[in-house]
Amino acid sequence: MVGCFCPCHGCIDNQIHTFSGVQLREACAEIMRKQGREEKTGGAKITPAFNLPCKYVLHTVGPIVHGSVTKKDGEQLVSCYRSCLELAEQNNIRSLAFCCISTGEFHFPQELAAQIAVKTVKEYREQTNSNIEVIFNVYKEIDFNIYKKLLGADSKAEK
């Protein structure tokens, strides 16, 4: 939760922590101090966004894939999305943007991760009658094309 500590590293975690300011690392470290451990894979926590142009940052720890994707990896990725959605609802958040959880440095295959993300969000919204607006925020052209295909022609797809 405290972010990447590799200087100039391009991962999303480093970007979020860099642009939100040092206060975010401090807030995350305090959460971990209070709970007495690092955040478990698939869980979620919320902090203020500090210098980012939003109110909150929802933090989740995605699964790290070593070799082939396991059933547990898939279940943990589902839990990441569900935990964030539930936390957003608990905090009256009406919209949230998801990055491609675990697909970068954690090596979850992009197509499968996107399928899990879209399916999990759709199921959550159906099961809970939620009206939360979800944006899948992508960085790479390949991810943009994957999500555009999965969400269909009716979805709003912008780069």
Q: What is the DSSP string of 22-69?
A: HHHHHHHHHHHHHHTSPPPTT-EEEEE-TTSSSSEEEEE-PPPP-SSP
> Distance between CA atoms of 48 and 120, rounded to whole angstroms?
25
Q: Read off the pLDDT of each residue in 34-48 and give the average, rounded to a whole number.
A: 94
pTM score, whole prediction: 0.92
Q: Which CATH superfamily is domain 40-151 in?
A: Leucine Aminopeptidase, subunit E, domain 1 (3.40.220.10)
| Domain boundaries along the sequence of the chain | 40-151
61: closest CA among 37, 91, 36, 96?
37
What is the chain's mean pLDDT, rounded?
A: 92
Q: Is the pLDDT of residue 156 over 90?
A: no
> CA torsion, points 69, 74, 77, 79, in degrees to nearest 10?
-150
